């Protein structure tokens, strides 16, 4: 049974939650492998809308096992809130949710450091979600992080906490002139969390290995997107984890030899939240139009998302660094009223035209997109389920995107609902999961 990685091919918010939700009935397990509650994955089921932050989107399907892997950083307070809200809405967690012992904890001083550091950066600030994700990964790399397993060992937890609070308080007070923390306060709060979370904390790498041995199929749900990857993204305007496909192995303990394919999720245009280069960014009325039609406001912070045209350079880069086999294209319907639709096919930089993504901060910041203009289809596609029924010009647009990325499309999303989906007849997706054919028209 195939184990497939789903990654964001742009700057996050591509619609990974929806795509994972559509595929979940055909797998046994969904795993998050990086990021934390900076993620906001939206799944719309009928009149119900769920926004998942730390829990895999698969949780909405009864019987799907969901794993929070070792590569994720977990804010236990936020996780418990998310768990409670799901339980209240009738979702079963017991027996379906497993949290890695090795996942690092986001501690109360992490969001404090996140905010203080952003304030200090001034106009060079990243525009983080303020959830403390970056500082938690800093501690992980500095080898002073506190992990899920530590929550279950009070003496060890206290020892690590004392060391951290002393260190962070100095940082907060002396560098940032910010509020400090007390050990006892955090200890009491986190021991309460430990009581809640203990039944879910386990060796998830071992579990996954056994499940795969027994023939289970695993879907790896990426958070954020390729361009926010700590190594391959638009550094330093990135998140602090490996969002690309390689992260699926290190962030779960499932070896790369047991992964069978990678599916990238991309919007039919582009968005970005926070600072950093975004060559195809739209300005003025068109940006407002797309933001309005696409409801482009952050699922985690509510911030308006920056909107732009589809960037073929970024898309091909995502294919290369993730080894994408196929792309699921979302939000085609948002472009329905555009008279012309632009696609970036190169970057003009100081007299040259670049056709490969420049891994250089200064080049990217100055890159001016070279556009190809296609005429818009000016007809509704919202809710469409069959490719053949799409307007001819929409099909031409899709064909051009496919040509530019060099990999086939497997799915076209035409609305937030599960059923608002066009399944491409013969694609890597239908070959991995032949049963998806029967679940969609
Ligand atoms: P994720 O972080 O990649 O899971 O994406 P988000 O949930 O942050 O943002 C995607 C938004 O687009 C959500 O509000 C989805 O409900 C919505 N969405 C997903 N696919 C489509 C689509 O094809 N058309 C429209 N109009 N909305 C979509
Ligand atoms: P999903 O999984 C879009 C962005 C932030 C900021 C940068 C660093 O829903 O696609 P961080 O808080 O991670 O240190 O912020 O990354 N960012 C996202 N943008 N979607 C996300 O997640 C994001 N998670 C972080 O806006 O620019
Ligand atoms: Mg999101």
Q: Which of 26, 41, 53, 61 is catalytic?
A: 41
**327 sits in which H/E element:** strand 326-330
- For ligand 2, atom 3, name the residue with the nearest CA: 12
List the chain residues with pLDDT less than 50.
none
Among 221, 240, 273, the mutation site with the greatest number of ligand 2 atoms within 8 A of its Cβ is 273
Question: Which pair of tokens denotes residue 206?
Answer: 């071992």
Q: What is the reported pLDDT for 121?
A: 94
Q: Tell whether ligand 1 has an atom less than 6 A from the beta carbon of residue 42.
A: yes
Among 116, 229, 239, 272, the mutation site with the greatest number of ligand 2 atoms within 8 A of its Cβ is 239
- Rounded to whole angstroms, the Cα distance separating 239 from 75 reads 16
Nearest ligand to the C-alpha atom of residue 39? 2
Q: What is the reported pLDDT for 441?
A: 66
**Which of 21, 17, 13 lies closest to 418 in space, CA to CA?**
21
Question: Which pair of tokens denotes residue 197?
Answer: 């979370």
Q: What is the reported pLDDT for 438?
A: 84
**Ligand 2 site, CB within 6 A:** 8, 11-13, 38-41, 126-129, 131, 133-134, 223-225, 228, 239-240, 273-274, 299
Q: What is the reported pLDDT for 301?
A: 84
Q: Tell whether ligand 1 has an atom less than 6 A from the beta carbon of residue 139.
A: no
Nearest ligand to the C-alpha atom of residue 234? 2
Respond yes or no: is residue 41 known to be catalytic: yes
Q: What is the reported pLDDT for 286?
A: 97
Nearest ligand to the C-alpha atom of residue 223? 2
Q: For 172-260, list the strands marked E by DSSP.
A: 201-202, 218-221
Q: Which residue has the tokens 């260190």?
A: 167
Q: Tell whether ligand 1 has an atom less than 6 A from the beta carbon of residue 243.
A: no
CA 272 – ligand 1 centroid, Å: 13
List CB-based neighbours of ion ligand 3 within 5 Å. Answer: 13, 40, 299
Nearest ligand to the C-alpha atom of residue 14? 1
CA 430 – ligand 2 centroid, Å: 30
pTM exceeds 0.85, yes or no: yes
Judged on CB neighbours under 10 Å (0-12, 13-18, 19+), 392 is exposed
Among 8, 13, 18, the mutation site with the greatest number of ligand 1 atoms within 8 A of its Cβ is 18
- Rounded to whole angstroms, the Cα distance separating 434 from 441 reads 13
- For ligand 1, atom 17, name the residue with the nearest CA: 416
Query: All domains of the chain, ordered by start, with CATH?
Result: 4-95+203-439 (3.90.170.10), 104-200 (1.10.300.10)
Signed CA dihedral, 391, 395, 384, 224: sign only: negative
End-to-end CA distance of the chain: 23
Q: How far is CA 217 from CA 182, 257, 258, in A?
A: 45, 14, 11
């Amino acid at each position: 049974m195939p184990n497939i990685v789903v990654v964001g091919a742009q700057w996050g918010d591509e619609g990974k939650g929806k795509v994972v939700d559509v595929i979940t009935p055909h797998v046994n397990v969904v795993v998050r492998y990086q990021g934390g509650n900076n993620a906001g994955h939206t799944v719309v089921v009928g009149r119900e809308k769920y926004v998942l932050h730390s829990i895999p989107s698969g949780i909405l399907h009864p019987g799907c096992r969901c794993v929070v892997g070792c590569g994720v950083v977990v804010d236990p307070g936020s996780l418990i809130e998310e768990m409670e809200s799901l339980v209240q809405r009738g979702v079963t967690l017991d027996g379906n949710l497993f949290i890695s012992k090795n996942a690092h904890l986001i501690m109360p001083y992490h969001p404090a450091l996140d905010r203080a550091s952003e304030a200090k950066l001034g106009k060079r600030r990243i525009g983080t979600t303020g959830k403390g994700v970056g500082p938690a990964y800093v501690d992980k790399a500095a080898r002073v992080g506190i992990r899920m397993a530590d929550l279950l060992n009070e003496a060890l937890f206290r020892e690590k906490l004392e060391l951290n609070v002393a260190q962070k308080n100095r940082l907060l007070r002396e560098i940032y002139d910010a509020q400090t923390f007390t050990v006892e306060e955090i200890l009491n709060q986190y021991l309460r969390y430990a009581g809640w979370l203990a039944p879910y904390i386990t060796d998830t790498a071992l579990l996954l290995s056994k499940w795969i041995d027994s023939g289970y199929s695993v879907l790896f749900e990426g958070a954020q997107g390729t361009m926010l990857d700590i190594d391959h993204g638009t550094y330093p305007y990135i998140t602090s984890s490996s969002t690309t496909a390689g992260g699926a192995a290190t962030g779960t303990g499932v070896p790369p030899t047991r992964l069978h394919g990678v599916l990238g999720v991309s919007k039919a245009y582009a968005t970005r939240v926070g600072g950093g280069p975004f060559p195809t960014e739209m300005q003025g009325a068109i940006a407002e139009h797309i933001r309005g039609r696409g409801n482009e406001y952050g699922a985690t912070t509510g911030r308006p998302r920056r909107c732009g045209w589809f960037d073929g350079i970024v898309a091909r880069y995502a294919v290369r660094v993730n080894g994408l086999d196929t792309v699921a294209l979302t939000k085609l319907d948002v472009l329905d009223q555009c008279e012309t639709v632009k696609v970036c096919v190169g970057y003009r930089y100081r007299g040259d035209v670049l056709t490969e993504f420049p891994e250089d901060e200064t080049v990217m910041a100055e890159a001016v997109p070279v556009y190809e203009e296609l005429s818009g289809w000016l007809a509704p596609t919202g809710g469409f389920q069959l490719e053949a029924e799409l307007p001819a010009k929409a099909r031409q647009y899709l064909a051009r995107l496919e040509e530019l990325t060099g990999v086939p499309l497997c799915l076209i999303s035409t609305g937030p609902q599960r059923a608002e989906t066009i399944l491409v007849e013969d694609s890597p997706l239908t070959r991995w999961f032949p049963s998806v054919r029967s679940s969609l028209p």
